[in-house]
Amino acid sequence: MPDLLIELFSEEIPARMQTRAANDLKKLVTDGMVEAGLTYASAAAFSTPRRLTLTIDGTLDASPTTVEERKGPKADVPEKAIEGFLRGAGLTRDDLEERETPKGSILFAKITKPGRPAADIVAEVLENAIRNFPWPKSMRWGTGSMKWVRPLHSILAILVAEDGATVVPMDVDGITSSDTTEGHRFMAPGRFSVTSFDDYSTKLKRAHVVLDATERRDAIWNDATNQAFALGLEVFEDNGLLAEVAGLVEWPVVLMGQIDEDFLGLPPEVLQTSMREHQKFFSVRNPKTQRIERFITVANRETADNGATILAGNQKVLSARLADAKFFWENDLRVAKSDMNVWLQSLENVTFHNKLGTQAELVNRMAALARELAPAVGADPDMAERAARLAKADLSSEMVYEFPELQGLMGRFYVEASGEDAAIAAASEEHYAPLGPSDDVPTAPISVAVSLAEKIDKLCGFWAIEEYPTGSKDPFALRRANLGLIRLVLNENTGVSLSSIFRKSIHGHLNDLLVRQVETELNATENSFPASLIASLHNDEIDTFKELAAAKEDVYDAELQMAGIKAKAMTRHLLAFTHDRLKVYLKDQGIRHDIINACIAMDGNDDINLLVKRATALNEALQTDDGKNLIQGFKRANNILSQAESADGVEYSYGADVKFAETGEERALFAALDMTEPTITSAMAAQDFTTAMSAMASLRSPIDAFFEAMQINAENDTVRRNRLNLLSRIRTLCSSVADLTKIEG
């Protein structure tokens, strides 16, 4: 049972792609081998910056020989027919065997497919894998046409049997396979040959290469935490950074350096961001003071001076970086403390979106919305407005220009430094949340008001300019904003009618668009007809001029009215979009889409809290036996009624009378309806959906008994109509709770 060792050796593979690539190599090769009949016992894949390695244990020398039997014609058919069969199957007469069967004597052919040597199969599968490798981005180099993530230099491919290793011969675009590889680029240059995976990994380690990324990662983390621990410090955990750094080195050497005293006053987030983003350094913090005092860098080699030169270099680069950050921080603080209006004014020069105006205009809209929404979320309107006005101020700061990922957080620092209330400052940071589905929703009232304002304005703005998300395209992250809005509203648990808020905001946006358009047109008119020339017009020309101007006014008026209708239509469209998001959200909470649809079809569906309460109650009711069967009863009643109504051309809604009831079941249903009607009505008025739904579910047995015993189409027309009117009562009552026709099944 030979083993197989493959190594694809290239120039430096991007760190973020290595692990995935190793797994892809494993899958492509093992799948290909198995498909060709080469089974194996186990396989493992590894990666370093310069190599992808695959080791496969316990495969076969060759794929097994297979024998296939094919049934031919009867033995007594004309010779021509037999020749035809032989030609088609690519056989000779000798391959045929005559066998007696119940249907007579029949010719059978035995087709033997000989197995193929493992080396042939591996060469074919590996070449295929190399040529079709799923790199996220690949390139050509030199004069070749082959693509790889970076230039591929060598292929090691050996089959290892008890009697030694043999190279799997292959040639991919001029790269010939061998049994050799290279060690560390600087510490152990030169090629060497290997005879097995054990030999390979041992020799690699001797040549200063740790093959296993997990081993490198663990070594880095252990060494880093040990060095920090020795000084009573702790390393800031950052798994993303750890994985990346482990992908940048073959021989990790952890070095800890000091951060210059000058920079220790910077906020820890600034230090951490600057070090991580620019230098890929870990931050080391003093647990007593919570200050970041040192950094950890991971070099790719040992040196005679124990890394002193490397560390000094890194320290110097860091100091230059932090000097920039400190410069930004101090300048920004100076502005924040003296007059933050400078930043607010400069937002006038920053475009939010070319059709939706500047960041300053955005802030104005957010301020108005935040003020309006404040009472509903328990925030002080003045404070909410102030917080919204300041929420984007940090976008003008130098720090955020340099590190966009610090937006919000810097705002919080700067707004607080300017002397504002801490709750107002917090909104600068928190109004961006929630960003992802697992991100926390803000709960501080002012932050909630500003966050809602930001999301509503964004959604309504992009709806007004008809930039909806389509398919996979959502460049303005509107789905995320919408989900954020939903989660905020649900978390607040207050009734907010989204329709009127949406309509007002969209209408405002449409008017702004119109004003901008008119302004441009006016400019155009002025340009085409200078005001200074109006005096030179003849009388008849003045009349025409006035007529044309009036016609323009009319068009403008019509446009204004149109904006009103458009706002309504767009609001419905945005609400439907919100309902779709809500469906996805509730589906994750285990509520079926048809249940949500049944509730969306009801009035008040723009109040998400109400909608979710209704859906939750309906969902619970439908879990019960009564609930499930009630749906069937309701549907039956509804179908019969609808058919009768369309056949008779009338609507049966006069109110049934118990005096025409003929049987006990019929009277029982009357009684049940009389009893549940007031319960449901008052529960619905109190938005107590659970009570309403369980009362509704209690109708199940009288309805079932009614259908069991009765024929609706009685011969007596009065009795028939009375029964249809009775069904109508069921329909009306149930439909006041949810649109049960939408329930599937």
3-class state of residue 245 by DSSP: helix
By CB under 8 A, name the one of 27, 116, 153, 552 that touches another protein.
153
By CB under 8 A, name the one of 166, 300, 497, 735 that touches another protein.
300
Using CB under 8 A as the binding criterion, the count of chain residues that bind another protein stands at 42
CA distance 110 to 521: 87
**274, 260 contact by CB (below 8 A):** no
- Tokens (6 digits) for 26: 């494993």
Residue type, 609: N
Contact window for another protein (CB under 8 A) among 12-20, 194-202, 650-658, 735-743: 12-20
Give bridge partners of residue 295 from the DSSP assignment: 257, 283
Nearest distance in Å: CB 563, another protein: 24
Interface with another protein, residue 21, by CB under 8 A: no
Our CB check for another protein shows the closer of 249 and 699 to be 249
Nearest distance in Å: CB 11, another protein: 6
CA distances in angstroms from 455 to 249, 490, 639, listed in the order given:
43, 14, 43
Nearest distance in Å: CB 176, another protein: 14
Interface with another protein, residue 137, by CB under 8 A: yes
Interface with another protein, residue 70, by CB under 8 A: no
Our CB check for another protein shows the closer of 295 and 707 to be 295
3-class state of residue 607 by DSSP: coil
Question: Under 8 Å CB-to-CB from 214, ≥6 apart: which residues?
Answer: none
By CB under 8 A, name the one of 161, 312, 548, 555 that touches another protein.
312
Interface with another protein, residue 351, by CB under 8 A: yes
CA distances in angstroms from 243 to 14, 45, 218, listed in the order given:
12, 16, 10
Our CB check for another protein shows the closer of 295 and 502 to be 295
Interface with another protein, residue 701, by CB under 8 A: no
Interface with another protein, residue 342, by CB under 8 A: no
Q: Return the closest-CA partner of residue 736 out of 667, 670, 675, 687.
A: 687
By CB under 8 A, name the one of 33, 56, 299, 611 that touches another protein.
299
By CB under 8 A, name the one of 314, 407, 447, 605 that touches another protein.
314
Contact window for another protein (CB under 8 A) among 148-156, 365-373, 452-460, 575-583: 148-156
Our CB check for another protein shows the closer of 136 and 378 to be 136
By CB under 8 A, name the one of 310, 335, 486, 608 that touches another protein.
310
Give bridge partners of residue 66 from the DSSP assignment: 113
Our CB check for another protein shows the closer of 141 and 545 to be 141
CA distance 41 to 443: 55
Contact window for another protein (CB under 8 A) among 207-215, 344-352, 516-524, 572-580: 344-352
3-class state of residue 562 by DSSP: helix
**195, 178 contact by CB (below 8 A):** no
Our CB check for another protein shows the closer of 321 and 412 to be 321
DSSP state at residue 549 = H
Interface with another protein, residue 349, by CB under 8 A: yes
Interface with another protein, residue 398, by CB under 8 A: no
By CB under 8 A, name the one of 262, 305, 330, 348 that touches another protein.
305
Interface with another protein, residue 19, by CB under 8 A: no
Task: Tell me: cis bond preceding 434? Omega within 30 of 0 counts.
Answer: yes
By CB under 8 A, name the one of 140, 206, 337, 516 that touches another protein.
140
Judging by beta carbons within 10 Å of its beta carbon (0-12, 13-18, 19+), is residue 547 exposed, middle or buried? exposed
CA distance 458 to 447: 16
Our CB check for another protein shows the closer of 103 and 137 to be 137
Our CB check for another protein shows the closer of 323 and 435 to be 323
Nearest distance in Å: CB 431, another protein: 22
Relative to beta strand 351-353, strand 180-182 is: unpaired
Enumerate residues 466-505 that contact another protein by CB under 8 A.
none
Q: Return the closest-CA partner of residue 75 out of 54, 57, 50, 101.
A: 101
**575, 498 contact by CB (below 8 A):** yes
Question: Under 8 Å CB-to-CB from 55, ≥6 apart: which residues?
Answer: 3, 4, 5, 6, 43, 44, 45, 46, 197
CA distance 379 to 309: 57
The site string for another protein over 92-131 (x = CB under 8 A, - otherwise) reads: ----------------------------------------
Nearest distance in Å: CB 129, another protein: 20
Q: Return the closest-CA partner of residue 459 out of 476, 473, 472.
A: 476
**503, 485 contact by CB (below 8 A):** no
**492, 612 contact by CB (below 8 A):** no
Contact window for another protein (CB under 8 A) among 55-63, 122-130, 306-314, 505-513: 306-314
Contact window for another protein (CB under 8 A) among 7-15, 464-472, 541-549, 699-707: 7-15
Enumerate residues 175-234 that contact another protein by CB under 8 A.
186
CA distance 736 to 739: 8
Question: Under 8 Å CB-to-CB from 647, ≥6 apart: which residues?
Answer: none
Question: Under 8 Å CB-to-CB from 638, ≥6 apart: which residues?
Answer: 727, 731, 740, 741
**388, 450 contact by CB (below 8 A):** yes
Interface with another protein, residue 377, by CB under 8 A: no
Interface with another protein, residue 442, by CB under 8 A: no
Contact window for another protein (CB under 8 A) among 210-218, 314-322, 448-456, 587-595: 314-322
- Tokens (6 digits) for 584: 């996805």
Locate the DSSP E strands across 334-421.
351-353, 357-358
Our CB check for another protein shows the closer of 353 and 635 to be 353
- Residue 587: count other Cβ atoms within 10 Å of its Cβ: 12
The site string for another protein over 703-722 (x = CB under 8 A, - otherwise) reads: --------------------
By CB under 8 A, name the one of 354, 470, 472, 536 that touches another protein.
354
Our CB check for another protein shows the closer of 317 and 490 to be 317
By CB under 8 A, name the one of 67, 304, 531, 565 that touches another protein.
304
CA distance 375 to 544: 53
- Tokens (6 digits) for 201: 């990994």
**370, 383 contact by CB (below 8 A):** no
By CB under 8 A, name the one of 75, 264, 317, 709 that touches another protein.
317
Nearest distance in Å: CB 357, another protein: 11
* Cα-based torsion angle of the residue sequence 526, 530, 533, 539 in order, rounded to the nearest 10 degrees: -20
The site string for another protein over 236-255 (x = CB under 8 A, - otherwise) reads: ------------xx------
By CB under 8 A, name the one of 5, 6, 8, 15 that touches another protein.
15
Enumerate residues 30-59 that contact another protein by CB under 8 A.
49
Q: Which residues sit at the interface with another protein, rule CB under 8 A?
A: 11-12, 14-16, 49, 137, 139-143, 149-151, 153, 186, 248-249, 279, 281, 297, 299-301, 303-305, 309-310, 312-314, 316-318, 320, 323, 349-351, 354
